[in-house]
């Protein structure tokens, strides 16, 4: 979106107990939906829809981070404080590695290993910026379900040698666990003075960080088997033929097999991007159809603007998460579908917290993680081919000059910039083409028989804030304009925004959003024009003794296309329905609005 379009935050009349409270007790407070038999009228439901900084931001100007100062590296976060911050920014503080400790699953045990970083060079100012080496041939990443036995043998050998380094070089950066630590450390470092650890998820850093992460991981594997053009495979879950665990990862006794995966992923089971791993009594055809419809939403109708696809600007201190469309779905559901069954009653010593793929700290311990993120990265390339305003990353200096830190295949430390990872071919790799049938899977069934009577449902002012989203909830909402011309639509996208989403970060979270659908909506079939999108979240881990497990997020949905498909373009009010799917007991939402936003 345009640089002036900050992610909408709630107006100042939202109760301070809602907008500022980050203590875990917030999510367990008694419901305040009805007071003395009627809904309290003291809450302002609207969000700030103008292009100026919100009052919330003005009051927290010292908490805004200049992302150019963030250096994220192997097993650690590093900060450069010698860069001039923006007028409204503050340089990020350097974490104190002396206090780096093991990660604890809240309510559970400490993880089995520490993911603190190996020592950095004493003089970090000498770390050079990375330059791409000469290239004679592109590394071509292929669909994982189509690779041959020769490739599988090379891949197994590379992972075996990387795992062997865990024993011979446990403190060096190239071992399997040290590579997994790159992901783990985001949950294990001490927190900064801003109270939250720096993160590369749930913002515009998600895609570029993981692209660089896989780049060096891939080169390390190639080095270990003396194969400079070795390329990672990609898990082709956006194609019906790839909507299963790739067979090479399901061979017991091989280095690609992970015994802690959920057993449901074995034997060619079709994944379900819509249910977070729950068993669903339905047909494979319906599962695959739902998956393709979800892909259409996340790549096409919900992602006309860069910040909707890539994720919102990273603002440290306010702790507002704003993940992009692909990060929410299918990225999170694939993690959860593959990870260990979450069962706190499992026998002692048995995995029960989503290990490995199903939890942030442990995701990199499953080799399929890198295959999964290969396809996530491929979606970046595919999205740019869809036309409209689907250009590359937001080319703002705050993002383009953001820096990460990695070791290369020769154990040498380097800094890399986001602005240098926009073209995979310049980085030396590309993707073997695969069909993208989701492009043609726009939903075509109407659940409702026409416009719902907005007078039959309460207005948003009677519903928000929602302190516990545990039942289907419908409300009416005013639109900023109706009957817009095509030129007006091209210039500004109509955005439905939910602000101050507060949730229990220990749990899987998901709720669905529908337009023009009543409380009795049945979410098992997504081939309905009323379905808008979903919010999802993967569990986090915490430092020992840390009881602050409430996270805050913003959800923005592009609804211009949905309004047209549902015949609502001329309406001044619409009906919105929220359907909790996971974690509703620990989920609250502060406010909602619709605004016209410049992409």
Residue 57: per-residue pLDDT? 34
DSSP 212-281: HHHHHHHHHHHHHTT-TT----B--TTSGGGSS--GGGG-TTSTT--TTS-GGG-TTPPP-TTTTT----
201 assigned to a ligand binding site: yes
What strands lie across the sheet with 550-558, from one edge to the other?
Answer: 320-321, 550-558, 493-504, 587-597
Evaluate if residue 1 carries a pLDDT over 50: no
Closest CA to 275 of 105, 524, 576, 533: 524
Is 331 marked within a binding site? yes
Instruction: Categorize the per-residue pLDDT at 293 as very low, low, confident or very high, splitting at 50, 70 and 90.
Output: very high
More confidently predicted of 341 and 41: 341
User: What pLDDT is attached to residue 14?
Assistant: 58
The enclosing H or E element of 560 equals: helix 560-565
- For the ranges 70-79, 248-257, 271-280, 465-474, the lowest mean pLDDT is seen at 70-79
Confidence (pLDDT) at 341: 79
Q: At 334, which helix (H) or strand (E)?
A: helix 332-338
Task: Identify the CA nearest to 161 among candidates 113, 221, 74.
Answer: 221
Active site residues: 183, 201, 210, 331, 335, 360, 373
Instruction: Confirm whether residue 372 is marked as ligand binding.
Output: no
Residue 573 pLDDT: 94
Closest CA to 199 of 70, 94, 91: 70
The angle formed by the CA atoms of residues 510, 516 and 519, to the nearest 5 degrees, is 60
Question: Is-contact 17 467, C-beta < 8 A?
Answer: no
At 552, is the pLDDT very low, low, confident or very high (cuts 50, 70, 90)? confident
Q: Is residue 540 a known part of a binding site?
A: no
Q: Which residue has the higher pLDDT, 101 or 206?
A: 206
> Which of 75-84, 165-174, 445-454, 456-465 is the least confident region?
75-84
Give me the pLDDT at residue 83, please: 23
DSSP 109-158: PBPSS--PPPPPPS-GGGPPBP-PPP-SS-EEE-BGGG--HHHHHHHHHH
Other CB atoms within 10 Å distance of the CB of residue 94: 15
Which region among 398-402, 483-487, 540-544, 545-549 has the lowest average model confidence (pLDDT)? 540-544
Helices 206-224 and 368-383: angle between axes, nearest 10 degrees: 130
Mean per-residue pLDDT, 49-57: 34
Give the pLDDT confidence score for residue 360 in this predicted structure.
80
Task: Consult the annotation and say whether 145 binds a ligand.
Answer: no
More confident of the two residues 590 and 37: 590
**What's the whole-model pTM score?**
0.82
Per-residue pLDDT for 45 more than 70? no
Residue 373 known to bind ligand? yes
> Shortest CA distance to 20 belongs to which of 46, 55, 53, 69?
55
The tokens of 215 are what? 């780049």
* All domains in the chain, ordered by first residue: 16-59+451-597 (2.60.120), 69-83+108-436 (1.10.1280.10)
pLDDT recorded at residue 527? 85
The answer to whether the CB of 501 falls within 8 A of the CB of 545 is: no
Q: Tell me, what's the pLDDT at 23?
A: 45
Q: What does the pLDDT look like over 330-386, one tens digit per residue?
A: 999 899 899 887 776 777 777 777 788 988 888 999 999 999 999 999 999 999 999
The average pLDDT across 560-564 equals 92
């Amino acid at each position: 979106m345009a640089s002036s379009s900050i992610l909408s935050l709630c107006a100042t009349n939202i109760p301070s107990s809602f907008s500022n409270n980050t203590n875990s007790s917030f999510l367990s407070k008694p419901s305040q939906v009805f007071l003395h038999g009627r809904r309290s009228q003291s809450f302002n439901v609207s969000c700030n829809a103008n292009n100026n900084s919100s009052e919330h931001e003005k009051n927290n100007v010292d908490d805004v981070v200049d992302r150019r100062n963030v250096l994220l590296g192997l097993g650690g976060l590093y900060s450069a404080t010698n860069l001039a911050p923006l007028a409204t920014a503050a340089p990020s503080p350097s974490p104190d590695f002396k206090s780096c400790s093991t990660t604890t699953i809240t309510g559970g045990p400490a993880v089995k290993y520490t993911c603190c970083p190996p020592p950095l060079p004493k003089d970090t100012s000498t770390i050079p910026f990375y330059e791409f080496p000469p290239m004679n041939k592109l590394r071509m990443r292929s669909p994982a379900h189509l690779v041959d036995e020769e490739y599988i043998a090379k891949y197994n050998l590379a992972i075996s040698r990387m795992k062997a380094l865990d024993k011979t070089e446990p403190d060096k950066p190239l071992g399997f666990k040290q590579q997994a630590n790159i992901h783990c450390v985001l949950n294990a470092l001490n927190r900064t003075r801003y109270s939250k650890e720096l993160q590369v998820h749930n913002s515009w850093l998600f895609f570029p960080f993981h692209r660089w992460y896989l780049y060096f991981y891939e080169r390390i594997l190639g080095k270990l088997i003396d194969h400079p053009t070795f390329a990672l495979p990609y898990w082709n879950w956006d194609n019906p033929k790839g909507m299963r665990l790739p067979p090479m990862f399901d061979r017991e006794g091989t280095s690609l097999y992970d015994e802690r995966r959920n057993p449901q992923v074995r034997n060619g089971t079709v994944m379900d991007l819509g249910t977070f791993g729950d068993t669903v009594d339905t047909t494979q055809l319906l599962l695959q159809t739902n998956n393709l419809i979800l892909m259409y939403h996340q790549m096409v109708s919900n992602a006309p603007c860069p910040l909707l696809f890539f994720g919102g600007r990273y603002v440290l201190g306010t702790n507002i998460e704003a993940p992009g469309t692909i990060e929410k779905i299918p990225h999170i559901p694939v993690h959860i579908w593959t990870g260990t069954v979450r069962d706190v009653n499992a026998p002692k010593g048995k995995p029960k917290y989503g290990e490995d793929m199903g939890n942030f700290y442990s995701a990199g311990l499953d080799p399929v993680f890198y295959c999964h993120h290969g396809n996530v990265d491929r979606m970046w390339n595919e999205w740019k081919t869809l036309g409209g305003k689907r250009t590359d990353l937001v080319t703002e200096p705050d993002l383009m000059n953001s820096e990460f830190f990695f070791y290369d295949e020769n154990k040498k430390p380097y800094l890399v910039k986001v602005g240098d990872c926009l073209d995979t071919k310049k980085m030396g790799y590309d993707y073997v083409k695969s069909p993208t049938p989701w492009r043609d899977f726009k939903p075509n069934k109407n659940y409702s028989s026409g416009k719902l009577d907005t007078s039959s449902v309460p207005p948003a002012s009677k519903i928000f804030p929602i302190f516990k989203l545990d039942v289907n909830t419908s409300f009416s909402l005013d639109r900023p304009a109706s009957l817009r011309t095509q030129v007006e639509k091209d210039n500004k996208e109509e955005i439905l925004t939910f602000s101050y989403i507060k949730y229990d970060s220990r749990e899987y979270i998901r709720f669905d959003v529908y337009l023009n659908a009543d409380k009795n909506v049945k979410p098992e079939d997504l081939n309905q024009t009323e379905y808008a999108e979903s919010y999802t979240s993967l569990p986090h881990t915490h430092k020992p003794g840390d009881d602050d497990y409430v996270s805050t997020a913003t959800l923005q949905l592009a609804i211009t296309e949905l309004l047209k498909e549902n015949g609502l373009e001329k309406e001044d009010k619409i009906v919105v329905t929220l359907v909790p799917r996971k974690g509703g007991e620990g989920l609250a939402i502060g406010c909602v609005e619709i605004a016209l936003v410049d992409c």
